[in-house]
Structure 1
Amino acid sequence: MMIMIFVLGILFGLTLQYASLNKFNVISGLAILENLSVVKAIALAIGVGIILLNFEIAFGFASFHIKPFVVGGLILGGLIFGMGMAILGYCPGTLAISLGEGSIDALIGIIGGLSGGLIYSLVLPFIQPILGPDLGALSLNTTLGSTTMYYILSSIFAIVFIAASFWLQKVDKVKGKKWIFSGIVLAILNSIVFSSVLTNRPIGASTAFPYVGDLLLGLTHNNYFTKIESAGNWEMIFLAGAFIAALSISVIKKDFKLVLIHDNWRRYKGDSKLKRIIWSFVGGFILIFGARMAGGCTSGHILSGGMQLAYSSLFFAVFTFVGLLVTGKLFYKSNLNKNS
């Protein structure tokens, strides 16, 4: 099983790396609406994934894994996660891939993320009241059941997501088409992960951070660690595969390079290494803290949940993009074209 998870992680890493969806310039570019590659790929993956997953579930090869609609956690977690994503320039899953390419800021972001996950596991009992209310696992399927109407509406949503991805291509400043391949492969890969004969779960990444953080400090005797232990171990192995894939390809292509300050950061925030180190840690910390409040991240919530038309995941996506875009506008504006 560990080998299979590792191989799935390798495929995940190769898929994102192929279209550069893991890179700081691409994700921070989304925050300032200069590069829509990530959202195009996600929209396409959700659209194709809805169709694939419906077939799987209809024939008994997979089942739904809907995250609960925890109102406070989704709103606050989504906003905080979006803020972290804009500042850090990575998602939980892309951190491992960019580290494999030599991005030092990704390593610092991982350290920040481990700290954020650890602190979350410690403060959860105290912040639990603000995460609710929990409305349960809600989706289009729980509303309509496996009826003809459900399949009609879900197919319409699939077409809308796919059409939206190609409409975004028309308005995007970046016209490459590698996102198409990556979006389709992400949908196929996630459908494989969903399969009941394989892992019977969705792709995810952020749970690995509190899991590893608690392990490193020996703080495993708490209810939260017990709750996430299985998922955290799965995602740790999965991300290890993504890291090895990125490292291997970078070395083979002779692209491996230690980098702390990327072009977009230099353009807006200057060349200060200390500033980038501090903000990488802060971004990683709040990225994972927000993800844990909401119960998932870009891959585990927006992508996997979107494929299931889960209300919690679609709700989380809205607040994530609000946090991402507002932070991008404010954070990358004040020092525009200045080098300090």
Structure 2
Amino acid sequence: MKTKRWSWFKGGVILGALNTFIYYLGQRLGTSGAYTKTVAKATEFFSPELVKATFLAQPGGCDAGPVDAAMLTDLRVDWQWMVVLGIFIGAFIARKLTGGGAGPAIPDTWKARFGNRSWIRYVQGFAGGVLLLLGTRLAGGCTSGHVISGTSRLAVSGLTFGLAAFAAGIPTALIIFKQRRTD
């Protein structure tokens, strides 16, 4: 079943408007900071010493700085968590508006390359997510923080990360699926 697609131009205008609004609030668009803060608070329950030695001492998240110690006493749903929630809500709305369905659990391109075993797809998806979060910690921020906010502010880190992401991502996708998309 073919679904209608949203205009990339309209999506870009909406994203640009959101980025401009966030800029005037003195923030940067990004979500990895929300995960970092939540994991720090959960870890504090089991080992406060570990939190002091890692989260409070090491840089990380979209702000590329250590977690604020005040956060450990005041964990709340902030604007970054609202962005995380908005990702899920936005995906649901997009699916409904474009007439998209759940889709197949295993797309044809996956079957052609790796077979019909869904557990392999789920394990690879989970491993990819773990590697993505590890990469965000190493890079000092997430894709939205670096590429969308960083590039629009002409930050060297944003420009470098954006170029590196595309330089690595496109060949990797072509190698994994061994074909080019034709539609």
TM-score w.r.t. length of structure 1: 0.40
Q: After superposition, give the CA deviation of every residue in 1:36-85 in whole Å (9 maximum; x if it has no partner).
A: xxxxxxxxxxxxxxxxxxxxxxxxxxxxxxxxxxxxxxxxxxxxxxxxxx
Note if 1:315 corresponds to 2:154: no
Aligned to 1:213: 39
Task: Give ranges in structure 1 of 5+ residues lacking alignment.
Answer: 1-17, 20-177
Aligned to 2:174: 329
| Equivalent-residue separation in structure 1 for 2:10 and 2:29 (angstroms) | 18
* One-letter amino acid of the counterpart of residue 141, structure 2: G
Aligned pairs (5 A) from 1:179-328: 179-196=8-25, 200-217=26-43, 218=45, 221=48, 222-223=51-52, 225-226=55-56, 227-228=66-67, 233-248=78-93, 250=95, 255-257=100-102, 260-328=105-173
- CA 1:263–1:201 in structure 2 vs 1: closer, same or farther (change >3 Å)? farther
- CA 1:233–1:252 in structure 2 vs 1: closer, same or farther (change >3 Å)? same
Task: Give ranges in structure 2 of 5+ residues lacking alignment.
Answer: 57-65, 72-76
Note if contact 2:109-2:177 (Cα within 8 Å) is conserved in structure 1: no
* Structure in which a larger fraction of residues adopt helix: 1
- CA RMSD across the alignment: 3.0
Percent of aligned pairs sharing the same letter: 28
Following TM superposition, the consecutive aligned residue runs of length 4 or more in structure 1 with deviations greater than 6 angstroms are: none
Note if contact 1:206-1:297 (Cα within 8 Å) is conserved in structure 2: yes
* One-letter amino acid of the counterpart of residue 266, structure 1: K
| Equivalent-residue separation in structure 1 for 2:81 and 2:108 (angstroms) | 30
Q: After superposition, give the CA deviation of every residue in 1:215-261 in whole Å (9 maximum; x if it has no partner).
A: 4454684245443366x953222111231233355457774537532
TM-score w.r.t. length of structure 2: 0.69
Per chain length, whose mean CA-contact separation is higher, i.e. which structure has more relative contact order (CA < 8 Å, sep 6+)?
Answer: 1
Aligned pairs (5 A) from 1:16-95: 19=6
* One-letter amino acid of the counterpart of residue 88, structure 2: F
